[in-house]
Structure 1
Amino acid sequence: MVTVTDFVKRTSADGNEFNALLLQGEIEMILSKQSGRYYATARTCSITSTFNDLVCQSLIGKQLPGCIEKMECEPYDYRIPNSDEIIKLDYVYYYNPSNKTMEQEVFEVKVAA
């Protein structure tokens, strides 16, 4: 399950404004490469919508079926929020409305087009 946590206004290439919903997946425990200790995190992503502000506001807190998955892509620069540090990433997170089986999760690798 994923949860709608917020919405943001975005502008399309042709100058039209639209709302994007911010989604958050379930909690995950990740082993730190630096400290060797676990920390809690959750994957996040955004999806575009045709909803107005009022509808988007009413969706905050709503849970949707599916999960947020990691997908390989061409490397790109990413600026860490509240920092001047820029790192290279080669993946993006996206919303998949279908839940995957453990076998699909382990053996399937997606590559961005």
Structure 2
Amino acid sequence: MVRIIGYKERQKENGDSFFVLELQGGIEMVMSKITGSFYATAKRAFLPSTFDEQTCTALIGTEMAGSITKEACEPFEYVVKETGEEITMNHRWVYVTDEAVQQKKEAVKYEQNVIANENVFSKNGILAHAE
């Protein structure tokens, strides 16, 4: 489950504005690479919408089925607000429905179960039916 915790106004390239919903996943415990101590965090993602500002405001607090997952993307520069450090990111956090996650798991499972039989392929470049 994810929860709508806010919204932000964004601009399209043509200057038109639209609203994105700010989503947050459930609490997660993560171990610090530096201290080895655990800390609580939650993943966040933004979801474009067709809603007006009044609707976005009314939706805050709504829970939706799904989760926030890591997705690879083109590298981009990001400035950590707390420290001012500039880092290069090559992933982003995106919202996915439970159905999409299940379909992906099934696709991976299916791919892992496929084993090619090399005897059905021609080894001399001449088309011949397998016996």
Question: TM-score scaled to structure 2, two decimals?
Answer: 0.74
Counterpart in 2 of 1:85?
Answer: 85
Q: Between Structure 1 and Structure 2, whose CA radius of gyration is higher? A: 2
Specify every segment of 5 or more residues in structure 2 that has no aligned partner in the other structure, as ranges. 110-131
Q: CA deviation at 1:98?
A: 1.6
Larger helix proportion of the pair: 2
| Aligned residue-pair number | 105
Specify every segment of 5 or more residues in structure 1 that has no aligned partner in the other structure, as ranges. 109-113
In 1: Cα distance, 2:22 partner to 2:32 partner: 25
Deviations 1:47-98 (A, max 9, x none): 1111111110000000000000001222211111244210111110000012
- Identity over the aligned pairs, expressed in percent? 35
Runs of 4+ displaced beyond 3 Å: none
In 2: Cα distance, 1:23 partner to 1:51 partner: 15
The answer to which structure, 1 or 2, has the higher relative contact order (CA under 8 A, 6+ apart) is 1
Larger strand proportion of the pair: 1
Q: CA RMSD in A?
A: 1.9
